Amino acid sequence: MSPVLSQTPPQWEKNTGKVKDSLGLIHLLTSQSNFSPFHNTSPCACGKCLSEDDVWFTQRFNKSVEPFLSAKHSLSEAAFRWWKLEKRNFIYYSATVDNLFKTFPATPDVEASSDRCRTCAVVGNSGNLNGSRYGPLIDFHDVIIRMNTGRTKGYEADVGKRTTHHVMYPESAVDLDNTTHLVLVPFKIQDLEWLIKAFTTGFSGASYMPVKSHIKANKDLVMVVNPAFMRYVHDTWLEKKGRYPSTGFMALVLALHICDEVSVFGYGADKDGNWSHYFEILKNKHLRTGPHAGTHEYDVIQQLHKNQIIHFFKGW
């Protein structure tokens, strides 16, 4: 872990409240990293584990749902019928998954965290990150999850420099460095085919927008979100609201399953109710939250924060 910040950076002076919150959390994370297995009886190494003493949370959190596809895990036909957005059948899907694991790891690279407190920052792309100066706090976490076309270059002071996991789907894909996990959220069989071909022969299929033919990333760090997990997020966490969960909300629930302590940044609509991004000027002023139940997703995030399940940094 990084050392505790010993003093307030000059650029944070205008944001005193955020600085106090940020430094306070860094102190908390650091104190929890001094973990002794001889003085802890919790199921995780944190001072307070995610699932402890919260009925609202435990009614929604289902640890038995596998977050990622693996060669050992098979999808039920019921989950497949909910998930698929094309005519091809379950047999074709199964053959595609078998082919997938000929190229990528058969077991997802998920680190066990039984002897330490694994801290995760989930970084959305909301425009409320502009001027937030959350960068150092974000970089302090063990795992840093970004998504879609989110970038760090030129925005380091607000969003940080480090990325350990980048969540995407083919239409939002970006190249990654050799140390970052590519986490694919597949919405159709073609997305699985894209992943295979983007690393091998090149993808030439059509979609509703241009898709990268090849992608630069470490194939040994590829992870694919389980369609059954996507259904669980939609049905249990979002109560079937919206057509399907946003990538950002999927990443948040994913973090709850693989992390001991979760901090959330860059979520929420702008003053006009649109999901604008910190790295671009929104052209469609009537976007709102697209096909997603954006208001409900935000309410769930705020409830998680209120119940002290996550740390939610709202920006602005």
Catalytic residue among 141, 234, 257, 292: 292
Asked whether residue 154 is marked as a ligand-binding residue, the answer is: no
- Residue 165 annotated as binding site: no
Residues linked to residue 312 through DSSP beta bridges, in sequence order: 264
Annotated binding residue 47: no
- As a whole number of angstroms, the distance between CA 314 and CA 316 comes to 7
Q: Is 155 annotated as a binding residue?
A: no
DSSP per-residue string spanning 213-226: SS--S-GGGEEEB-
Looking only at Cα atoms, what is the longest distance across the chain? 59
Residue 286 annotated as part of some ligand binding site? no
Active-site residue, selected from the candidate residues 93, 169, 244, 267: 244
How many other CB atoms are there within 10 angstroms of residue 280's CB atom?
Answer: 11
Does 257 show up as a binding residue in the annotation? no
Give exposure, 99-128, as e/b (b: 16+ Cβ within 10 Å).
ebbeebbeebeeeebeebbbbbbbbbbbbb
- The H or E element containing residue 90 is helix 90-103
Is 244 designated active site? yes
Is 214 flagged in the annotation as binding? no
Name the pairing type of β-strands 310-313 and 222-224: unpaired
248 is an annotated ligand-binding site residue:
yes
C-alpha 129/C-alpha 157 separation (Å) is 10
Q: Per the annotation, does 234 bind a ligand?
A: no
User: Is 73 one of the catalytic residues?
Assistant: no
Active site residues: 244, 292
Q: Which residues are annotated binding-site positions?
A: 87, 125, 148, 208, 244, 248, 268, 277, 292
Q: Which residues are annotated binding-site positions for substrate?
A: 87, 125, 148, 208, 244, 248, 268, 277, 292
